[in-house]
């Protein structure tokens, strides 16, 4: 996992690496404002999901600079790779699903549900009927494989 702009992140003096699942980002009323706010107190801020292209599209659409250069790898591998490669004393993963929680804990991260993180940080949540954790790419290997096969058949 490479950092996209190590110099910019090094200028931030936060002792925290903050990582959002794509579903958590989609839950926010203003994802770009939340990232801007989080950069005030975090050294690194990023977004991950099982689908790197989906994260890239979301970040581009919302004007978010992701501190991480994502590879086509599953979220669990990305989160573990980040934990091992980033030297901040604290790593917090903000997610929406039980799968997010498992990934965070297995990789050694603190886990916070988006509702708790948003409340503590003063971020507004968007309309929950529009956003679901299912959009986060957390639906497992079988569902990802099925989508891949369907995409190749079209």
Residues 80-121 have pLDDT tens digits of 888 988 989 999 999 999 999 999 999 999 999 999 999 999
Domain that holds residue 20: 2-153
**CATH number of the domain that residue 80 is part of:** 3.40.50
Q: Which among 21-30, 78-87, 143-152 has the top mean pLDDT?
A: 21-30
Strand order in the sheet with 90-95: 44-48, 16-21, 90-95, 110-113
Would you say 88 and 17 are in contact if contact means Cβ atoms under 8 Å apart? yes
d(CA 28, CA 11): 26
For residue 17, pLDDT beyond 70: yes
pLDDT at res. 150: 72
pTM (predicted TM-score): 0.76
Domain count, the chain: 1
């Amino acid at each position: 996992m490479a950092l996209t702009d190590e110099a910019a992140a090094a200028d931030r003096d936060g002792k925290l690496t903050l990582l959002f699942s794509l579903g958590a980002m989609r839950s926010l009323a203003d994802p770009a404002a939340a990232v801007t706010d989080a950069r005030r107190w975090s050294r690194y801020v990023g977004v991950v999901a099982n689908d790197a292209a989906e994260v890239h599209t979301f970040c581009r659409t919302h004007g978010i600079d992701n501190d991480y250069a994502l590879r086509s790898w599953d979220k669990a591998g990305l989160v573990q790779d980040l934990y091992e490669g980033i030297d901040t004393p604290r790593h917090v993963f903000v997610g929406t699903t039980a799968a997010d929680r498992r990934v965070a804990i297995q990789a050694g991260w603190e886990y916070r549900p988006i509702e708790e993180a948003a409340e503590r940080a003063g971020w507004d949540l968007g309309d929950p009927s529009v956003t679901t954790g299912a959009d986060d790419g957390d639906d497992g290997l079988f569902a990802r494989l099925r989508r891949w096969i369907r995409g190749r058949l079209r």
